């Protein structure tokens, strides 16, 4: 997507947001109601989300930001005294950890469930998806073709020896990918795959997803495993060197050797066990699923919208029709349920 089109898209969004904030809605009145959000997201655009919701409902939004593991431990320590109403986490496997620890509650919210595709919410109302994210491969087109990398199994082929850059196995994105692989092909084949990836690594796991993509552009490896939006942010960067990294690489979304869909994860939200105002918390979730909320969620992150009609391609950057990729039928809950086994298999394979 050209810079002109991206600029136009952002301008339209800005006008929508400013109009929504300044239109006939009076300033928020003093209210004793406070919505407390624990969020593992760290984006400037999220501040607009909170401010807009305050304007709409005349309430105060308080936010605590930290990584998901830190928020999990905080909620455990606070126990029944926690003031948190909502927790937002950027991976189904991370969200599952809060539920598994008994820190969330199941709520009946048919008005929200009706907006979300069935595969993207917990059947019992324990969590709700907000946006989509794909784990994929960025590669050097001078070394490989997309057809060389269009299944995860092909990455473990000995022909890829010394060519893979990837982050630590303990990273939640890799754990969720491995958890789905266990569900799709079984632990024995998943274990063989992990060993094959280790044998094909160009270096010891290090850094984040952006570092893996940069390594391909720098010639340190030919293949990087990363989430799609890290590439999209490079492609949309105001820094020429970042755009050059994106220009030097291509993307492919690997399958599992069948026609049953790709590994697609989420950013999601759950109502905490201690929520003081469940209705207000659900109002916030509804706002995030609205066109305005969806635009704000994905404009900066480059994730894919879940429910909105806004352009998914514009949100993610023009990432080779990624928005049209179909998710597999494996329940998102399996990303959490298989986590422990996934880590064991990684450890046995020597994936640090």
- The reported pLDDT for the residue numbered 310 is 64
Flag whether the pTM goes above 0.95.
Answer: no
CA-to-CA distance for 115 and 347, rounded, in angstroms?
40
Owner of token pair 């009076």: 26
Integer Cα distance of 71 and 180 in angstroms = 25
Question: What's the whole-number mean pLDDT along residues 251-266?
Answer: 91
Rounded distance between C-alpha atoms, residue 213 and residue 221, angstroms: 9
Helix (H) / strand (E) element for 199: namely: helix 187-199
Name the percent of the chain in helix, strand, coil, to the closest 5. 50, 15, 35
Architecture of the CATH domain 133-262+331-349: 3-Layer(aba) Sandwich (3.40)
Please determine, for residue 6, whether its predicted confidence score (pLDDT) is greater than 90: no
Instruction: Kindly indicate the confidence band of residue 319, based on its pLDDT and cuts at 50, 70 and 90.
Output: low
pLDDT, residue 194, reads 98
**Is the pLDDT reported for residue 15 higher than 90?**
no
CATH fold, domain 3-132+265-319, is D-Maltodextrin-Binding Protein; domain 2 (3.40.190)
SS3 of 39, please? strand
Residues with Cβ within 8 Å of residue 293, at least 6 apart in sequence: 49, 287
Q: Which residue has the higher pLDDT, 225 or 24?
A: 225
pLDDT band with cut points at 50, 70 and 90 for residue 259:
confident
Residues 47 and 78 sit within 8 Å (Cβ to Cβ): no
Q: What would the pLDDT profile of 80-101 be if each residue is shown by its tens digit?
A: 999 999 999 999 999 999 999 9
Measured distance CA(300)–CA(281) in Å, rounded: 23
Mean pLDDT score, 220-224: 98
pLDDT surpassing 80 at residue 163: yes
Per-residue pLDDT band at 311 (split at 50, 70, 90): low
Taking the chain, what is the end-to-end CA distance rounded to the nearest angstrom? 37
Distance of alpha carbon 231 from alpha carbon 209, whole angstroms: 9
What are the residue ranges of CATH 3.40.190.10 in the chain? 3-132+265-319, 133-262+331-349
The whole-number pLDDT of residue 178 equals 98
Q: Return the residue matching tokens 């697609």.
A: 264
SS3 223: strand
pLDDT in tens, 264-288: 999 999 999 999 999 999 999 999 9
| CA 9 to centroid of chain Cα atoms | 22
């Amino acid at each position: 997507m050209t810079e002109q089109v991206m600029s136009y898209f952002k301008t339209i969004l800005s006008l929508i947001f400013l109009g929504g904030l300044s239109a006939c809605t009076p300033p928020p009145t003093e209210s004793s109601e406070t919505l407390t959000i624990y969020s593992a997201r760290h984006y400037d655009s999220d501040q607009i989300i909170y401010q807009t919701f305050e304007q709409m409902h005349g309430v105060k939004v308080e936010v605590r930001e930290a990584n998901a593991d830190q928020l999990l431990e905080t909620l455990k320590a606070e126990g029944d005294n926690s003031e948190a109403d909502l927790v937002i986490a950027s991976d189904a496997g991370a969200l599952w950890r809060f539920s598994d620890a008994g820190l969330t509650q199941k709520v009946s919210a048919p008005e929200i469930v009706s907006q979300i595709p069935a595969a993207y919410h917990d059947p019992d109302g324990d969590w709700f998806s907000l946006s989509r994210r794909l784990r994929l491969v960025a590669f050097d087109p001078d070394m490989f073709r997309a057809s060389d990398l269009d299944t995860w199994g092909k990455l473990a082929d000995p022909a890829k020896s010394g060519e893979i850059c990837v982050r630590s196995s303990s990273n939640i994105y890799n754990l969720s990918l491995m958890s789905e692989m266990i569900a799709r092909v079984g632990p024995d084949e998943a274990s063989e795959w992990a060993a094959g990836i280790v044998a094909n690594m160009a270096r010891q796991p290090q850094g984040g997803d952006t570092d893996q993509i940069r390594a391909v552009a720098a010639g340190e490896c030919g293949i990087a495993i990363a989430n799609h939006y890290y590439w999209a942010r490079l492609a949309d960067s105001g820094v020429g060197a970042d755009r050059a990294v994106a220009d030097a690489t291509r993307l492919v979304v690997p399958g599992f050797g069948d026609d049953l869909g790709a590994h697609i994860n989420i950013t999601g939200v759950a109502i905490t066990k201690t929520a003081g105002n469940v209705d207000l918390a659900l109002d916030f979730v509804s706002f995030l699923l609205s066109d305005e909320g969806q635009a704000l969620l994905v404009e900066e992150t480059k994730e894919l919208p879940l429910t909105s009609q806004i352009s998914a391609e514009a949100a993610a950057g023009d990432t080779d029709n990624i928005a049209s990729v179909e998710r597999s039928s494996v329940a998102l809950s399996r990303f959490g349920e298989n986590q422990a086994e996934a880590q064991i298999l990684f450890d046995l394979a020597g994936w640090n």
